[in-house]
Amino acid sequence: MISPSDFLKKHGFEEEEEKEHTLEENSKERARKIQRPNAGTPHDWEDWERYKATHEEADNADDAKRQDDQ
């Protein structure tokens, strides 16, 4: 009897690399994908509003710079 992983290797299918599912890896993944919090403490929402305002200002400055260059 052939195992499923051996069958896939035999027929040229590559196995996907398994990611670690540790708390550390999960938190790093969440940090890379910053998005609006679904719930949380008032401090979380204050942090989100501050982050959003900071990045909107940076985006607006970049847009103004591009317009000046044209």
pLDDT in tens, 34-67: 778 778 888 888 988 998 888 887 777 666 666 6
Confidence of residue 16 (pLDDT cuts 50, 70, 90): low
In contact, 32 and 44? CB cutoff 8 Å: no
Cα separation, 51 vs 57, whole angstroms: 10
Domain ranges of the chain: 41-70
End-to-end CA distance of the chain: 68
Find where tokens 């590559």 sit.
14
